[in-house]
Every structure is written in C-alpha cells, then in structure tokens.
Amino acid sequence: MTPTSPTLPALALRPSDLRGLTRLGVDGTVGLTDLVEAMHHTIVSGMGIAAKSSAGRTSGITGFVYGAVRGTTRVLGKGVDAALRAIEATASANAGSPERDALIAALNGLFGDHLADSNNPLAIRMALRCDGVALDLNGDALAARLPAATGKILVLAHGLCMNDRQWTRNSHDHGQALARSQGFTPVYLHYNSGRHVWQNGREFADMVQQLLARWPVPLEELVIVGHSMGGLVARSACHHAAVEGQPWLRSLSKLVCLGTPHHGAPLERGGRWIDVLLGLSPYAAPFARLGKTRSAGITDLRFGNVQDAAGSGRDRHAQHRDDRPPTPLPPGVQTWLLAATLSASPGRVHSTMIGDGLVPVPSALGEHRDAALALDVPPSHRHIVADCGHLDLLCHADVSQHLQQWLATPADQRR
C-alpha cells in the first residue's frame, strides 16, 4: 500500500489577505534591515572605525547600501500591493475557513496594533458574529438573521490570538450548550486582540449598546462570558459603559471570567525583563527591538491593564511596576471567576505560579496584595479546576457544569 502524504489544511485566503501578508513581509524586511544596520553601526563605532551617526544609522557607502535595500523592498512591496489590489477588486470575498480565521487571529494577537495603525487589510475589525459571520446591527437585518432569537443574550469574548470560532473545542461549545439547556441566544465577539485592551473594551461597550437597541425581541437577560483576555475586554467594556453612562450596563446580570489574567501573566513580565537585559549592552540592544514588536494587547497582560490611564502618556513598554488605577467589578452584577491549574492536587495550586500554563491561579481569581486592586468576589463565586490547561477551559466538563449552574442562578440574586 502506498503511503499518502499529509495535506495542509485549506486556508482559503482572500486576495486582501495576500496583500496584507505582503505588507507585513515588507515591514519585517525593513525592520530587519534596520536591526542589522544598528548592529553594524554599534560595532564599527565601538572599534573607532567610523564616526557615529544619529539613530544607529551608518554613513557613506555602507549607509547607501542599507538605504537601497530598504528603498528597493518598499518599491517592490508597492508593486505587489497594486497588483493584488487589482485582483481584489474583481474577486468575490469568501466567508473564510476556520483555518484562515485562526491564522489571521494569531497574527493579530502578535502584531495587531501595528496592523491596525498601518491600515493593513489583515487587521481584524471588531464584530459580533454567529457561525463565523458578522451580524449586521443596522435596521431590521438582525431580526432576519436570528429568527429564533430569545430574550436571553449570551455574549462570549475570546482570548489572545484567538477568534470566535475557537469557542468550539473538541466538539464542545459553551455557548451552544447553554443555548440548548437554558435558552440563551449566543453571540460571539470577534476582535483584534493585539490592540490595547481598553481600545477593544471601549468599542465592545458601544457594540453591546447597539446590539441591545436592535435586538428583535424584548430583553430578559444579558450575560457576558470571557475567556482569558476576553475577560479583561469585558471588564474594560463595563468600565467604559459606567463612565459614559451607557444604559446596557444596567441590563447586565452576570459576568463570568474563565482563566482571565486579572493581575497579569508571568510570561509577559518575563518578556519585559528580557527587554531590559538586552538593553544593558550596546551590542545586544538592537535585538531588544525584536522583543518590543509584540503587540499592545500582549504588553497589557503584564499586569492586567483594562484602563487607558494605565499606560496613557508613556511608552507601553515602560510600565515597570503595577501602578494600575483600580477597576472595580460592575456593581449589582453577579460575577464568577474560574481558574485552572495543571496540578492534579487542587490544595496546592496557590503554591505554584504555573497555574493553567499561562495564567496563575491567584491572578485568575482576582487576588492581589493591594486591597484596592483585588477583585471583590466571594469564595462561593470562585472555582478552581484541577488538571486543566488554559485552552482546556473551553471544553472541560467541570467548567461546563459550573457555567450551567452559575447561569441558572436567578438574575435578581445580585452579587
């Protein structure tokens, strides 16, 4: 029998995706050229071979060569961009495959702020979606799209580098399970997780207000469930709604956060120390630029920033200590926090920082040494799942059981 070679999943990329990837490749090539030139400049300057020039640039013929590489790369990139734009104008946009959505979501998680700032077509525009397709929140389109809508709305917010379709894991979807058992209508947030949490939170707040204004049946209950970063985005949306007096916040009855780094994640704090160490040597300093290409969303996970004030007016990489302004949970809203640990012994989970592999248990439970930053959630509204990884929170039977139990609690029994 002749063995068959494995096949790659069909990404079903659009012409705009190819154009975006080309732009990202051009940006990466120019950035790498800058890094190599900065190293070259540092070495020859340290040896006294060449006079220093500003901003780590070399001079003379060497500088001309580096400039030519950058210029040629940009010219070629513009040519390819124009050709793909012409194809894009005549091509019909496909709905996109799950594999394509996963790739785009990962790129947005890593470089999403750069994609948005450079107007790259890969940048995800926030939307509320069902079955991977954006809902039209204008006119009567929502009623036509959701003919079986109930008065119980469940909005689910995904985490970093993920998308709304990835709520389905191992054939399980918390949203669909709650729809079957409790009559919720699940709506899934799709957003660029590389932007600042507060940027996504503010836009999410506006979108929820628009959703409720267009909901086709009388509202009975509004619930938000956030996984990982999605919990921070949900809390940020509640903060913005409170500050701006948006009425939808009065309709929110329950908020559930699954593995949310309310007080940050060790991996991002480790990334910050790598930046510091690389910056200590002039020869290694150019490599610090590579680390600092990580997105604004990732750097927000250093301490769990949910407000603009946490980083306003300063370089986002310069937050050396946890100086966030307190962001209390929305008053009158039932709030539950669920953490996971890879440990099979739940009694020992607080003695390790490993947590679910990404988020420590104390961070997911909102615990903090500073009482002003700690989240005021009673023990009965907190739960730890043992022998569970960060992504397994999306399909773990214990998590599903607690979601069923928590969301069945009468809405008038407030926190």
* Least confident residue range of 107-121, 254-268, 286-300, 386-400: 286-300
C-alpha distances in angstroms, 285 versus 101, 267, 292?
A: 35, 21, 11
Q: Are strands 152-157 and 133-134 parallel, antiparallel or unpaired?
A: unpaired
Instruction: Determine the pLDDT at residue 12.
Output: 73
The values of phi and psi at residue 411, to 5°, are -65, -25
Helix axes 60-90, 15-46, angle to 10 degrees: 170
Is-contact 363 265, C-beta < 8 A?
Answer: yes
Q: Give pLDDT tens digits for 225-284.
A: 999 999 999 999 999 999 999 999 999 999 999 999 999 988 765 444 444 444 444 444
Question: Per-residue pLDDT for 302 more than 70?
Answer: yes
pTM: 0.82
User: HSE of 69 in the Cβ direction (CA atoms, 13 Å)?
Assistant: 16
Bigger pLDDT: 276 vs 126? 126
Question: Per-residue pLDDT for 8 more than 50?
Answer: no
Instruction: Determine the pLDDT at residue 231.
Output: 98
H/E stretch holding 336: strand 334-340
CA distance 146 to 189: 16
Is-contact 305 324, C-beta < 8 A?
Answer: yes
Question: Per-residue pLDDT for 129 more than 70?
Answer: yes
C-alpha distances in angstroms, 104 versus 110, 376, 407?
A: 10, 36, 32
Instruction: Determine the pLDDT at residue 93.
Output: 60
Bigger pLDDT: 411 vs 264? 264
Our measurement of the distance from residue 31's CA atom to the centroid of its chain's CA atoms, rounded to an integer in Å, reads 24
Query: What residues have CB less than 8 Å from 209, skipping those under 6 apart?
Result: 241, 246, 247, 248
CA distance 101 to 81: 22
Quick count: other Cβ atoms within 10 Å of Cβ 59? Answer: 14
The yes or no reply on domain 96-415 and CATH 3.40.980.10 is no
Question: Per-residue pLDDT for 164 more than 50?
Answer: yes
What's the rounded mean pLDDT across residues 121-133? 95
Q: Are strands 172-173 and 168-169 parallel, antiparallel or unpaired?
A: antiparallel
Q: Give pLDDT tens digits for 339-385.
A: 999 987 655 555 455 689 899 999 999 999 999 999 999 999 999 99
H/E stretch holding 86: helix 60-90
Q: Which residues pair with 157 in a beta bridge?
A: 189, 226
CA distance 385 to 335: 17
Instruction: Determine the pLDDT at residue 51.
Output: 45
Q: Which amino acid is at 329?
A: L
Instruction: Determine the pLDDT at residue 249.
Output: 97
Q: What confidence tier does 67 reach under pLDDT thresholds 50, 70, 90?
A: low
